[in-house]
Amino acid sequence: MEYTGSKYIGEYVDGRMEGKAKYILPTETIYVGEMKDGMFHGEGTLYLPSGSQYDAIWENGLAIKGTYTFADGLHYDEKNWHYCDGYDRRFHTEILNGLKPAGMAQLTNMDPPRKIPRGYYDCGDGFYNPVTRVVKGYRNRFLRNTGRFLPTLQHVFSSPTYKYVHLYVQMYAHT
């Protein structure tokens, strides 16, 4: 089934997507793999905009078995998952490259961290501009208006944890 804003590159049989194909969803997620009767079927990979990917065996549009790999190369293992558990809180890049010297704490898995534009906030999927109340992706593409984000920030700044948030903003929002 094709959705508005999606793009299919492959063969059609009796009006249905069939065989090896590339399917680009409106969310910019890309599926590369086998299709049957208009659904993911057989071996195929979903490439997410974040850089992560999900390799799976699909049956009638459902993933039967698969593996998820994060953008930094970390493989998710459901049975032996020890990353960021109660015993070890290091980021994946710290596990691979070692801890930084005292006073040079790593605050995200990305090292070096993203450069946050002056007066903006990092939302995890882009930067929030409190003046325009707009979130733009890391590649400067419009993501959303944030009419409800401001009250959330007001709640955060009036909470007892404000001193920690404020300290973080003072240290890193203007670098």
The CA distance from 47 to 55, in Å, is 9
| Complete edge-to-edge strand list for the sheet that includes strand 62-69 | 7-13, 16-24, 30-36, 39-47, 53-59, 62-69
The CA distance from 12 to 44, in Å, is 17
CATH assignment, 7-69: 2.20.110.10
pLDDT at 28: 86
Q: What is the pLDDT of residues 154-167, one digit of tens each?
A: 555 555 554 555 45
Any idea which residue has 């501009």 for tokens?
Answer: 129
pLDDT at 150: 47
pLDDT at 47: 95
The conformation of residue 115, written as its DSSP 8-state character, comes to P
User: Hey, what are 136's tokens?
Assistant: 């733009």
Of the listed ranges 1-10, 56-65, 112-121, the one predicted with least confidence = 1-10
Percent of the chain's residues with pLDDT above 70: 71
Q: What is the pLDDT of residues 124-174, one digit of tens each?
A: 788 999 999 999 988 888 988 886 544 455 555 555 554 555 455 544 544
**Band of pLDDT at residue 175, cut at 50, 70 and 90:** very low
User: Hey, what are 154's tokens?
Assistant: 């007001």
pLDDT at 115 over 50: yes
Of the listed ranges 38-42, 76-80, 131-135, the one predicted with least confidence = 76-80
Kindly list the domain boundaries of the chain, sorted by start residue.
7-69, 80-113, 114-150
CB 45 within 8 A of CB 56: yes
**Of the candidates 135, 142, 19, 119, the residue with the CA atom closest to the CA atom of residue 127:** 135
pLDDT at 56: 94
112-130 mean pLDDT: 86
89-100 mean pLDDT: 74
Task: Please state whether the predicted TM-score (pTM) of the whole model is above 0.75.
Answer: no
Q: What is the pLDDT of residues 41-58, one digit of tens each?
A: 999 999 998 889 999 999
Any idea which residue has 């596990």 for tokens?
Answer: 95
